[in-house]
Structure 1
């Protein structure tokens, strides 16, 4: 097993957490996903065969890029949409 700690941008609330968890757990070999809202951190526990890039690409596609990436308007809008979907899924 391998653990990745990734600091991301655009993390706002429990809705974001739900979307991120659901998205990352769809990756084959992903065992666990924990979100630390206060520190904008995702902790992913997975099989050794999953590359970090696969995880960061999935986060990026959901609107949550690594904190070191450029965070343009499109990514911010994607994160708001993901957040709303996550909130609806929490109902």
Structure 2
């Protein structure tokens, strides 16, 4: 299945690099792509559990789905994830 998610805190290519690497590392998730200008992540997933795992991973690294709580802590995580993505 293919799903596109709109996420928060997506700022640049560094963020996108981290998102792609983290989601591609998940079981049953593949073909991850990010459109920074639209704050969208598109991914292939084998089942609903894989999609839920992808959403949870995004939240843990600072990129919750649009409409979810976006606390100061979550925003701070996105800055760290962004920096990591820029270095890799």
- Using the size of structure 1 for normalisation, the TM-score is 0.91
Q: Which residue of 2 aligns with 1:55?
A: 54
RMSD between aligned alpha carbons? 1.1
Q: Which residue of 2 aligns with 1:22?
A: 21
CA deviation digits over 1:21-76, x for unaligned, max 9?
00001111212101011110000112236442211100001100001101010000
Matched, 1:69 2:68: yes
Retained in 1: the 8 A contact 2:29–2:50?
no
Q: Which residue of 2 aligns with 1:41?
A: 40
In structure 1, the gaps of 5 or more residues are: none
Q: Which residue of 2 aligns with 1:86?
A: 85
In structure 2, the gaps of 5 or more residues are: none
Moved over 4 A (4+): none
Paired residue total: 88
Which deviates more, 40-49 or 30-39? 40-49
